[in-house]
Structure 1
Amino acid sequence: MKRVIWIVIDSVGIGELPDAKLYNDEGSNTLENIYKSIDNFSLPHLESLGLGLIDGVKEIPKVGKPRGAYGKSIEKSPGKDTTTGHWEMAGIILDNPFPTFTEKGFPQEFIDSFQKEIGREVIGNYAASGTEIIQKLGNEHVRTGKPIVYTSADSVFQIAAHEEVIPLEELYRICEIARKRLVGDLSVGRVIARPFVGNNGNYTRTSNRHDYSLKPTEETVLNKVKDGSLAVMGIGKIHDIFAGEGLTDVLKMKNNDEGMDRILEFMESGKSGLIFVNLVDFDMIYGHRNDVEGYANALKAFDDKLPQIINAMEREDVLIINADHGCDPTTPSTDHSREYIPILVYGDQVKSVNLGIRETFADIGATVCELLGVEKIRNGTSFAKEMV
């Protein structure tokens, strides 16, 4: 294969996992619940690839002759966050979940030493919605210059600051300090810079977010492809999620639409290898805010633009589309949900087959390795021979 175009549709889960009860996620089904909630909702291009034929799907229309291979996967690692999902699909299966601090926030001893090193006091330090906490504490932050620290049900240490109060460069420096300090029992999956703008309690987050992840604990599919003398082209959050490991080329993006344009840019470059993108808007803008209509419209926009990617593909190219977890906007929770992820694969040489229910997200990464003819990752079973 010349290229694999790998698109992660962030948070677009397709039904609760068998252990969803342990995560208080019973009833979550991000994709199908959106179909149920929005009249005459349709994603014709994804449906044409076999979306409605995935095992267990009831609400999504089924096509008679799907254009691609289709299936879904269980998450073998404990957890339901972005880093866990991406690491697993790239070949790392975690034995223990990343730590969370939803009940009491981060230990005061850590906060004290962190404040001393950054030269500022902080406010917050509790679990909250990011959009809500900046409205609640934004005025105090603007008045005092104290960064807003908060967390969520995910393994994250988030720092919000007004761009005119704490310049981006300083906010990023503060986050880098936090990343270095959050080790051992405090080793959260991600430190996230959350800049915002506005005034008088009317604040909005900007697109200058930056994630600082732990470095992957072992080699991933990205390393294997790079070591095979092929390009590994990361778009958007991919660089942050993997701490830059295994990437040869990087492009930033402000939103899903721009992310799709960046894919086309890399395709036009003619480089062989892996094009890997995370489309975060579904999760960040709509899922966490329980915005069902917004989530639905974002899915339609992605589906409408998908033919541009397909039409730009060459004979040896393979397109893989999958999620990393769920974030059902129809449930009371605003957190991620423990769900199966859909898998859709398209290409001139890809047969229309049911890939079934995969035992781990790592099967996707193993398949990428086989498609590109590079060394295997440690975990996962490739389904390349089943469909090519």
Structure 2
Amino acid sequence: MREGCVLDRLAALGVDTVASLPCDRTQDLCARIPERFHSVDLTREEDGVGICAGLAMAGARPVLHMQSSGLGNSLNAIMSLTVTFGLPLPILASWRGIYREAIPAQVPFNRAVPEVLRALGIPHTIIRDPSDEGLIDEVVQDAYDSMRPHVGLILPSFWEGTEEACPAEQPPPPRARESALEYRRTFREPVMARNDAIRAIADSLDGEAVVANIGVPSKELYAARDRDLNFYMLGSYTQATPIGLGLSLATDRDVVVLDGDGSLLGTAVLPVVAAESPENLTIVCLDNGAFGSTGNQPTPASGLVDMELLARAAGIRRTCKVQDEEELAEAWESRRRGPNFIHVVLKPGNAAVGNIPLAPVEIRERFMRAIRG
């Protein structure tokens, strides 16, 4: 009954959402999570960091569950988002590579996990056996009380010694379906720069919460129209859309993500957006075919990848492509219940804008007050 007891503890602590990428050592736990909580099924662990950040800022109380090897994929997001902005993030990690491990590839990173976490100043608690069950409470409570990440490293030995009455195995959902796509788009030579699109959108904002991508896009939004409902990212490459997804799952307010082709090509979050299908989410892909903040180096979207088609292939149904300010205004005004994906084709280039004169905690505090107000 240990899996059920763990979920009882999470529920008693007020947890309402579990973002999860499974481990075979916790497959029975994974089977029970959707019975008790909103379960967000991840395709990459670091996207869970952004999703949980958005959920927490909007007032939800998430937990992130992963295999400990996924911590390696998530460390930059944890440090540059969770730690930098002072956000709560309890992580329950199935600790591989230590106890009766049969897979050699699990050993090198996972045996060093405690040292890595100590070096980064990330609190962690080792949960070895059933007598340590109460430590799970401490992991979750400390993360929320101290507004920081806290990792519970759960050894496989913790789950031993009980016969869990797991839910009857359900037959897999039918996969037979027809996949058909009628799609033809013509890319014109771009006439807008990213700053033109951001200014046009900023002028049209009403009560939407906005997540702006890292680097110059956040600076351009600040210069165009600073608002308490703007969340300016200062790091955490690829995490703009995950943050926006988390926000949209925890608020009735419309949420807009100003993301880029480079960061969207580096994440696996679009299928998760399609699966969750929040009606209040709009992703604006500002596609200038370049990593703009680092010197306009070309991305694969510069002449190969069609970002709208990528969103369609991920399962997002409401998509469009715009290539001038008139088309952008029309797409913005004609948004329906989403998720919406607006692909804006742009020329490279950065506006001459200064740094954002706000500390990370200031950005967080005013944003949280506004989105919960």
TM-score normalised to structure 1 length: 0.30
* Higher RCO by CA contacts (8 Å cutoff, separation 6 or greater): 1
